[in-house]
Structure 1
């Protein structure tokens, strides 16, 4: 059985990336070959990483008890790491907000972006990737058009996700689906969104067929 973790990073009911998530999940339901779990970043308890984390690390090394906030953060971090490690395939459904990813998705990445977990440093200082066998699907929605050359550098959502998962972690990004321009071109929004959602469904069908 192939384990799929779908990370949902939008809590707007009418958000386009929410619709992408729903279309992907609805299609995956047709499969008996996939064990699908959801990590909803807006439902999980996800305290930000800060001094509490480094304090907790120090206390753990010295076998000291953690305070309530330190334990809360360590529990949240471990839950994300466990879900991440278990997955064979990672699917991220996320919007472009203010040119970047939602803060809660960033927090999830902060939890798993850890030396000794997703990568390590060799004796010579070079980086070794530890989870290169995982596959990644990226589902992104953005109301403007950022695929044109003059705007590509402004997108710090899809570019960032690709740099982290495909670059630092060395995972295979098997699919990238972007729905864009629906806010910039409202007269074409319905068509843009539906065409994009069909691409999302096709991506889910392909995933299912790979592990049939």
Structure 2
């Protein structure tokens, strides 16, 4: 099995819970081929006109600029990483109610008609990555699982809507660690219990009985 871990936090594990989740997962996964795609370490120009200019120059045969070459190469690398994976593990924090911009760029690279989805002759969405599974590991300092706060959460919700709803990946596991910042007196317990769940997911994917 080929497993792609999309790591979307460059803060150290001593300071960031989602980085702790990444480390815990990596320390407990075994028996599978694991590749990490670190969105903060990759050269990932933001989606915009440079990409569309590059597409046009491919058609016309014109010489591309450095930024156009970079964004094409980065987009292809992200797509190739997903193509090679049987399971994609997204590890990310909630920042300002949403995902880090670098993770958004990764999604933008993969969110391509003809690759991850298409429209049929009736204009209906057809999911094209239904042969893949996805795992969501995310941390958020506040509580966003109540009826009042859930509508504000646009990180895990977004990834599930895109990976599951548009791409068609089967979301097999989801671990959310939340509330450790809003309840500092309980933070150690909240994080420890969450990391136990992350460890269990890793061992499940490794085929280890837990």
TM-score, length basis structure 1: 0.95
Aligned runs of 1:1-150 on 2, under 5 Å?
2-13=1-12, 14-28=15-29, 31-32=30-31, 34-150=32-148
1:65-102, Cα deviation, whole Å (9 max, x unpaired): 21111001101111111111100000011000000000
1:206 matched residue in structure 2: 204
How far apart are the structure 2 equivalents of 1:102 and 1:206?
Answer: 27
Deviation at 1:44, TM superposition (A): 0.5
Q: Where do 5+ consecutive residues of structure 2 fail to align? A: none
Structure 1 SS opposite 2:96: coil
How far apart are the structure 1 equivalents of 2:101 and 2:65?
Answer: 25
Tell me, yes or no, if structure 1 residue 181 matches structure 2 residue 176: no
Structure 2 SS opposite 1:150: coil
1:133-192, Cα deviation, whole Å (9 max, x unpaired): 100000010000001110000000011011001101111000010000000000000000
How far apart are the structure 1 equivalents of 2:146 and 2:81?
Answer: 35
How far apart are the structure 2 equivalents of 1:19 and 1:209?
Answer: 22
How far apart are the structure 2 equivalents of 1:127 and 1:149?
Answer: 29
Q: Where do 5+ consecutive residues of structure 1 fail to align? A: none
Structure 2 SS opposite 1:190: helix
How far apart are the structure 2 equivalents of 1:140 and 1:15?
Answer: 11
TM-score, length basis structure 2: 0.96
Tell me, yes or no, if structure 1 residue 155 matches structure 2 residue 153: yes
Structure 2 SS opposite 1:149: coil
How far apart are the structure 2 equivalents of 1:122 and 1:175?
Answer: 30
Give the alignment's Cα RMSD to 1 decimal: 0.9
How many residues align? The count is 206
How far apart are the structure 1 equivalents of 2:105 and 2:202?
Answer: 26
Structure 2 SS opposite 1:7: strand
Structure 2 SS opposite 1:77: helix
Deviation at 1:42, TM superposition (A): 0.7
Structure 1 SS opposite 2:135: strand
